[in-house]
A and B are shown apart, each in its own frame.
Chain A
Amino acid sequence: DTAVSQTPKYLVTQMGNDKSIKCEQNLGHDTMYWYKQDSKKFLKIMFSYNNKELIINETVPNRFSPKSPDKAHLNLHINSLELGDSAVYFCASSQQGGAYNSPLHFGNGTRLTVT
């Protein structure tokens, strides 16, 4: 049973398109995250939701919009894709209290390539 699952695993699209990445966790966690890993492998937080409420929103272009229909799901929608959006996007989850209390569990990532 996959604890944190993301779909799709690979996404190749053209500039200007709109795309979504889905994430689901079956761990019963309250907090979910989106991280971006750039070409230099550096991981940076984008968003975090706790019980469907947005608690972290880093300096991310408003073309990126997260949506959490329930606490087990956190989807990422990206409008008007740009070349610089090419990266690996990771979903993660943790128990309530987030990173202060419990380990984060990561999905396997979605490799987005914008051409």
Chain B
Amino acid sequence: KQEVTQIPAALSVPEGENLVLNCSFTDSAIYNLQWFRQDPGKGLTSLLLIQSSQREQTSGRLNASLDKSSGRSTLYIAASQPGDSATYLCAVPNDYKLSFGAGTTVTVRA
């Protein structure tokens, strides 16, 4: 059974600092890994999807890396802004559905 863990559960940083969010999964035989952002009272927005053959994926200030052998992915957000405050979730496919981590709630202080 695939289990996805995100540590820490919450993170508070001053504006401008780089963010590092961690995601680990127990079964390394994954097809892809997806990072989402969830704002309070809103749905999830897909940020990045890394295929199992890729080691990283970039979109603007976001960079996600994937190390299948160690069962880890890291989401880097450069030069954080208050607008980056949200909950970030990672997810991996498992029997045609996504298994989610519990998320890391980020607060960027102005």
Q: Which residues of B contact A106 (CB under 8 A)?
A: 36, 43-45
Binding site for A on B (CB under 8 A): 31-32, 34, 36, 41-46, 49, 87, 89, 91, 93-98, 100, 102-103
Q: Which residues of A contact B32 (CB under 8 A)?
A: 99-100
Instruction: Classify the interface of chain B: helix, strand, loop or mixed.
Output: strand
**A15 adjacent to chain B (CB < 8 Å):** no
A9 to B53, CA, bound (A): 38
Is A103 within 8 A of B46, CB to CB?
Answer: yes
A-B contact pairs, 26 of them (CB 8 A): A4-B43, A40-B102, A41-B87, A41-B103, A42-B100, A43-B91, A43-B100, A45-B97, A48-B96, A48-B97, A55-B96, A92-B44, A98-B96, A99-B31, A99-B34, A99-B91, A99-B94, A99-B97, A100-B32, A100-B96, A102-B49, A104-B98, A105-B46, A108-B41, A108-B42, A108-B43
Closest A-chain residue to B48, C-beta based? A103
Considering residues B32, B49, B89, B95, which has the most beta carbons from chain A within 10 angstroms of its beta carbon? Answer: B95
Is A99 within 8 A of B43, CB to CB?
Answer: no
For the side of the interface on A, what is the size category? Answer: 20 to 34
Is A99 within 8 A of B98, CB to CB?
Answer: yes
Q: Which residues of A contact B103 (CB under 8 A)?
A: 41
**A83 adjacent to chain B (CB < 8 Å):** no
